[in-house]
Structure 1
Amino acid sequence: MPRSTLMRVLIAIALLVLSNAASAQSADPFEHGWTLDAETSELQFLSVKKNSVAENSGFATLTGVINPDGAAEIRVLMDSVDTNIDLRNVRMRFLFFETFNYPEAVITAQLPPEKLVDLHQARHKIIDLPYTLSLHGVTKDGVAQVAITLVDNDRVAVANTTPIAIALPDFNLEEGRGKLQEAAGVDILPFGFVSFGFVFDRAQAGTPPQLVAASTTPGAAALETKGNLDREACEGRMEILSRTGNIYFNSGSARLSDASIPLLTNLHNIVDRCPELTIEIGGHTDSDGSDSANRVLSERRAQAVNTYLVNQGIAPERLVTVGYGESRPVTSNDTAEGKRRNRRIEFVPVN
């Protein structure tokens, strides 16, 4: 090929590449939409105990999208809470976040196209972004200052510039804080600070981004040993489950309320994964009524839990039922709250 012809071909190729690159840097920041890269994204929260000891924790399983219209949604599997300590994770799941009832937290926001239309040129922008957080059955609005960085045309990072304060009473988490304090034996301040760094990849044309469906299996996202658990893990989980207070009966009745099923489903999962243990199911009541009547009622309630587990496949010989009535209160019966806490089901390994 003559040198002049070769040069014309190379110039044409270069112009084509530059033209494609320029057209790829779309002025539409949401073209085709975006999908969260969960492996490189993070969501963390900082809590404070003993008035001055800060602990940083996070969540391991996130899924998220930004739609072509700029509507963003992040879903957090609460079972995936990561404190770096197994039983602390279990306390957070069952006592604080009550993940058996509230398995996900959802963050939504509408990214403003008018503020990001030049992102392909500026590459980095800081904006105030209104958002909505749904957590523990409560939905509240807020505003966060976020930095949005276009790493390249197909990858964008979104991070808060300052921690976001979360008041626990705003999300009905005060009771959970009390349970945590009692279980861990420490004071915990009634607020936390959230920080995030989300990374998104641009979706392909014709393939809109989609959220990944969460598993319905109890503890599927939990950072714990899969399959059978060792004795220490089993005993720790039984002690924590005994503190939940989420097994319900009508007054004077031994019939399980439907509201008990989420926790019982998780209980079954754990008992099933501790096959070497025999579990005592202990029923307890408050002091209202006669001692003999309370013993009978507490045993009937413990038996109702026993029956549920057996119906779910747990071998009957692995379960022992005891009714303690009012004989082992955990607190005074002088108040309605004290009586509520004393009405409980406890789980204790006996072999």
Structure 2
Amino acid sequence: MAAPALAEDNPFAPGWTLNPLGSTLGFQSVKNGTKVEMNNIATFGGHIAPDGMAEVQIALDSIDTHIDLRNVRMRFLFFETFKFPTATVTAKVDPLVLEGLKDGPRTFAVLPFTLTLHGVTKEMSAPISITQLGPDTVAVASVGVIPVVAEDFALTEGVAKLEDAAKVKLLPVGSVSFDWIFTRDGAAPMVAALTTGADAAKETRGAFDAEACATRFDTLSQAGNITFRSGSARLDVAGSAVLDTLLDVVTRCPEMKIEIGGHTDDVGPDAANLALSEARAAAVAAYLAERGAGADRLTPKGYGEAAPLLPNDSAENRARNRRIEFKILD
């Protein structure tokens, strides 16, 4: 069997497309020292251009841990997909990596690549295998696992949030593996474009049930991504992504009435903190109501500094105490 396109001047012409049928992408996480959990990413897409430039986009909303609560926590608390919906892998593939296919159906190489994840871009490399499955089809797979360190991608805080939410201890590194099928362009129908958001998420379509609603409101309360200008009830633009995610959840829980609770740290007079927390809760309610959430379903309430999550004894703890929480009302 001839190697794919090796008889041609350009082995990558006219381009190769990642086929999701038969392709897999997964990662392992370890909690409490010994428990290994296997997770999948359901939606990804990619292409190798005629010049050998390869790009794969990964929809992080499509994470599948096989448990809805864990899916939601991974999306909202760890990957923060409302801000960073995709991860991107790019690589310049040297035609020489295909030379080994002249002597057999499989060859091995170490591939340098760039990973962009959670707003951070890092140069990496990984051992891979390349297997010819047919004249117009190849499989590209990781050999072993690829370690992805949380600290390298500004995910340390996300690890802490997951630990707090699940009451576990997590190893701050994940082990990624993949097995991707590429088909020569024109040899098979084009695959659908990468989808993100609700179209990719591993969750029920349409309205959520009561448990799914409770999971999402609780997790969004823990996310801590709704922010304000210092000493102000004016919503920070940086928080609009999570507010839009919140709007989607409120819309998909149409029978629920929600309390929007504002909380502050202990800096400043009690009365001023109470007033500020009330104004901030009202600002979130107004944002949602203006976009069709239904003002009669939203009850803003200020708690001031009366219900801290943590002792107000450090800048980090005070930041955690300045928050918006959501509660389903009876």
Q: TM-score range by the shorter chain?
A: over 0.9
Q: What residue in structure 1 maps to residue 268 of structure 2?
A: 289
1:212 aligned partner, one-letter code: A
How far, CA to CA, are the matches of 1:254 and 1:283 in structure 2? 10
SS of the equivalent of 2:140 reads: strand
Do the aligned residues in 2 keep the contact of 1:32 with 1:208 (CA within 8 Å)?
no
TM-score (norm 2): 0.95
Task: Name stretches of at least 5 consecutive residues in structure 2 with no aligned partner.
Answer: none
Cα deviation 1:22-79 (Å, max 9, x = unaligned):
7986424313111111121111111100001001101000101111121111100000
Q: What residue in structure 1 maps to residue 39 of structure 2?
A: 57
Runs in 1 of length 4+ with deviation above 3 angstroms? 21-26, 207-211
Cα deviation 1:234-263 (Å, max 9, x = unaligned):
011100000011011011100001101000
Residue 77 (structure 2) pairs with residue 111 (structure 1): no
Do the aligned residues in 2 keep the contact of 1:254 with 1:301 (CA within 8 Å)?
yes
Correspondence 1:326-341 to 2 at 5 A = 326-341=305-320
SS of the equivalent of 1:65 reads: strand
1:316 CA drift (Å): 0.8
Aligned with 2:112 (options 130, 150, 161): 130
1:292 CA drift (Å): 0.8
Q: What residue in structure 1 maps to residue 184 of structure 2?
A: 202
Cα deviation 1:81-106 (Å, max 9, x = unaligned):
01000111000000000000000000
How far, CA to CA, are the matches of 1:52 and 1:143 in structure 2? 27
Q: Percent identity?
A: 49
1:220 CA drift (Å): 2.4
1:117 CA drift (Å): 4.0
How far, CA to CA, are the matches of 1:221 and 1:66 in structure 2? 23
Aligned with 2:245 (options 266, 269, 278): 266
Q: Give the superposed CA RMSD.
A: 1.9
1:131–1:211 distance in 2 versus 1, CA, 3 Å: farther
Do the aligned residues in 1 keep the contact of 2:100 with 2:106 (CA within 8 Å)?
no
Question: Which region of structure 1 is more displaced relative to structure 2, 25-34 or 191-200?
Answer: 25-34
Aligned with 1:226 (options 193, 201, 205): 205
How far, CA to CA, are the matches of 2:122 and 2:189 in structure 1? 28
Residue 152 (structure 2) pairs with residue 170 (structure 1): yes
Q: What residue in structure 1 maps to residue 229 of structure 2?
A: 250
1:25–1:251 distance in 2 versus 1, CA, 3 Å: closer
1:209 CA drift (Å): 7.6
Q: What residue in structure 2 maps to residue 238 of structure 1?
A: 217
Task: Name stretches of at least 5 consecutive residues in structure 1 with no aligned partner.
Answer: 1-20
1:112 CA drift (Å): 1.1
SS of the equivalent of 1:261 reads: helix
TM-score (norm 1): 0.90
1:211–1:32 distance in 2 versus 1, CA, 3 Å: farther
Q: What residue in structure 2 maps to residue 153 of structure 1?
A: 135
Cα deviation 1:134-167 (Å, max 9, x = unaligned):
0000000111110000100111000011211111
Q: What residue in structure 2 maps to residue 212 of structure 1?
A: 193
1:22–1:103 distance in 2 versus 1, CA, 3 Å: closer
How far, CA to CA, are the matches of 1:22 and 1:161 in structure 2? 24
SS of the equivalent of 1:116 reads: helix
Aligned with 2:167 (options 185, 191, 195): 185
Q: What residue in structure 2 maps to residue 11 of structure 1?
A: none
Q: What residue in structure 1 maps to residue 296 of structure 2?
A: 317
1:119 CA drift (Å): 2.5
1:208 CA drift (Å): 12
What is the number of equivalent residue pairs in this alignment? 328
Q: What residue in structure 2 maps to residue 6 of structure 1?
A: none
Q: What residue in structure 2 maps to residue 5 of structure 1?
A: none
How far, CA to CA, are the matches of 1:167 and 1:330 in structure 2? 28
